[in-house]
Structure 1
């Protein structure tokens, strides 16, 4: 059905027009889509944009970095932590903004960029439920990567992913 699902990774506004039948655009979109846009839908839309930009701009690069590695790392915290959102791009090159680039790249290399294969450290975490969703999209050494995981809280997330999502 046309208009059944509208993916917009940004707030939609209607400056001056009345195409939504007198309703606010956000409420109009919720009515059309059946509810607010999920975080996974926004992440998927943003990742698709990132991957398409990477593919288009990949031909213009002078020299490939670390076997064609470019990963978009995202962390979305729950309502308990004010819905905070963080993202960075990891290329395992010297120009990365990731504060723990060397450790993150080493853990990815040890597990072939598989979040499930990463072993948890021995830290003690609380049982407070404040879900944290992490996602990793892009290319690891030329191979496509698309993973999304949800952890019960940020302590458990850091215990399982180490330096990768610690930015």
Structure 2
């Protein structure tokens, strides 16, 4: 019998494994802290390029209480305002350079009991920040 595994299946399995590892690392880093809730959570990644390069940053954003990166509270508030729909975040009123240095943003997780899968490539980091607010602001 021959089995075929698609690249999408491999990526989803890898993201699921990374999510589990991130939760375990958060639990190991703060054993005295209460266990994270199974509520709203997203595994966020930002990759320089069109999504196939190796320069990827990622974090697990938990929203009860907000934790995961330096702007977690702001990101959780912005997501709450659009019911977890990243594509519906209102764009910021900023001017971005017309420089092509693509970045790919990806989010997988759960919001209000609903699965969230988001992926979009932006022309540059400025446009990413203008369109997604604090959600993908993984660096301070």
TM-score, normalised relative to structure 1: 0.62
CA distance in 1, matches of 2:60, 2:16: 14
Matched, 1:110 2:81: yes
Q: Could you say what the CA RMSD is over the residues aligned between the two structures, in angstroms?
A: 3.0
CA distance in 2, matches of 1:148, 1:133: 7
Secondary structure of the residue aligned to 1:72 is strand
Secondary structure of the residue aligned to 1:91 is strand
Asked if the contact 2:43–2:107 (Cα under 8 Å) also holds between the matched residues in 1, the reply is: yes
What count of residue pairs does the alignment treat as equivalent?
A: 125
* Structure 2, unpaired ranges of 5+: 25-33
Matched, 1:151 2:122: yes
CA distance in 2, matches of 1:95, 1:103: 9
Larger strand proportion, structure 1 or 2? Answer: 2
Q: 1:71 aligns with which of 32, 39, 42?
A: 42
Higher relative contact order (CA 8 A, sep 6+): 2
Q: Structure 1 stretches (4+) deviating beyond 6 angstroms?
A: none
Matched, 1:49 2:17: yes
Bigger Rg over Cα: 1
* Structure 1, unpaired ranges of 5+: 8-39
Q: 1:138 aligns with which of 109, 115, 136?
A: 109
CA distance in 2, matches of 1:95, 1:116: 21
> Could you say if the C-alpha distance between residues 160 and 124 of structure 1 is closer, same or farther in structure 2, counting changes exceeding 3 Å?
same
CA distance in 2, matches of 1:41, 1:5: 6
1:48 is displaced (CA, Å) by 3.3
